[in-house]
Each structure stands twice: as C-alpha cells, then as structure tokens.
Amino acid sequence: MNFHRLLALGLAFPLSVAFAAGKHVHGEGRLDAVIDKETITLNLELPLDAAVGFERPPRNDKEKAALAATDKTLKEAAALFVPTPAARCTVQSVQAQVPFTGGDDKHGEHGHEGETHHADIEASYVFRCAEPAALKGIETALFKHFKRLYRLETQRSGPSGQGAQRLTPKVPVLTW
C-alpha cells in the first residue's frame, strides 16, 4: 500500500481534467502572479463573456461601448489590484487587450475544434514596491467590476514559494 499512489490514482485523475492548461470556462478567469524582490508581475486572462456577456464582434453601439468600458476598467491598474498598502506599491506598466477593440482583433480569439468561438481578455500589470517586506497580499476589484466573473484561479510564485489559490467575490484577496 502506498499512500502517494492512492492519492495519485484517486485524486490526480479528476484534477488532471480540471486543471488542464488553456481551459476556457465562462465566468472563470486565470491570474498568474510573480513576486520577485520589489516587483509584482500579474498576468490576467478573462473570458470576454465574463466582462461583457458575449464573445463575438459587437453588433451595435451598446456592445461597442461595453467593450470600450471594459478596456478602460482593465487599464486602471491601481483601482483593479491593491497590494498591501504598507508595501507602498506603484503601477509601473499596464497592458490590456480586449478582443474586438482596436485593430489587432486576432489576439486572444481562438476556436475550439471549430465548434464555438471563444474570446479571452489578456492583461498584464507590473507594480514596484518601496517596502516589499511589508507585502502580504493583493486585493482585486475584478469581481466588483465584472459581475459575471465568479472565480479566478491563481498561480503564484514568490519569496515564500509557490501556491495556488481560488479567488471568489467573497474571497477577493490573494495572500501568501
């Protein structure tokens, strides 16, 4: 009898399905966080549906406005992600790509075996912290802005090691 083998058989199989990379689940986003010395790097992936409720080119002005508003929200990094205040972190750079806005529409759009179309928002943020030792966590306002988003699967690599955490509207703080 080997406990590890049991664990592997009993648990890893369903997990292997659930955690397969590049999965697109409506309402579920992904957030990768690296904390390296004084720098925080965040990479965000959201299904477009979670932000605006559709995943295709906009059909009217209202939908266009929704995409533009999402783009604007995602670029306000300081309001979207709040690291521990005592660490005194400031935004260094913001990149956000919302499908169907601007010229480069192909990015973030991909098909699944040609059946249905999905579109993902991709954004990345870099913060620099004056007091990295005080850094204990990052609170996100994503759930407040995007009501259709109910879950954010996070991966983290930092001074205290690596970890995974599931953020939800009730638990919107990434901690380590």
Please identify, using beta-carbon distances, which residue of 101 and 124 lies nearer to other proteins: 124
Q: Strands 161-167 and 137-140, how do they pair?
A: unpaired
Give the dihedral sign, CA 16/162/50/122.
negative
Task: For residue 11, state whether it binds other proteins (rule: CB under 8 A).
Answer: yes
Q: Which of 8, 65, 78, 133 binds other proteins (CB under 8 A)?
A: 8
Quote the tokens at residue 17.
Answer: 């399905």
Minimum Å gap between C-beta 51 and other proteins is: 21
Q: Which of 57, 69, 155, 169 binds other proteins (CB under 8 A)?
A: 155
Minimum Å gap between C-beta 135 and other proteins is: 14
- Per-residue x/- marks for other proteins, 26-65, CB under 8 A? ------x-xxx--x-x-x----------------------
Q: Contacts with other proteins: how many residues (CB under 8 A)?
A: 36
Minimum Å gap between C-beta 105 and other proteins is: 21
Task: For residue 118, state whether it binds other proteins (rule: CB under 8 A).
Answer: no
DSSP the chain: --HHHHHIIIIIHHHHHHT-TT---TTEEEEEEEEETTEEEEEEEEEHHHHHS--S---SHHHHHHHHHHHHHHH-HHHHEEE-GGG-EEEEEEEEE-TTSSS--STTEEEETTTEEEEEEEEEEEEEES-GGG--EEEE-HHHH-TT--EEEEEEEETTEEEEEEE-SS--EEE-
Task: For residue 156, state whether it binds other proteins (rule: CB under 8 A).
Answer: yes
Q: Which of 15, 79, 86, 171 binds other proteins (CB under 8 A)?
A: 15
Residues that bind other proteins (CB under 8 A): 1-5, 7-9, 11-17, 19-22, 32, 34-36, 39, 41, 43, 155-158, 161-166
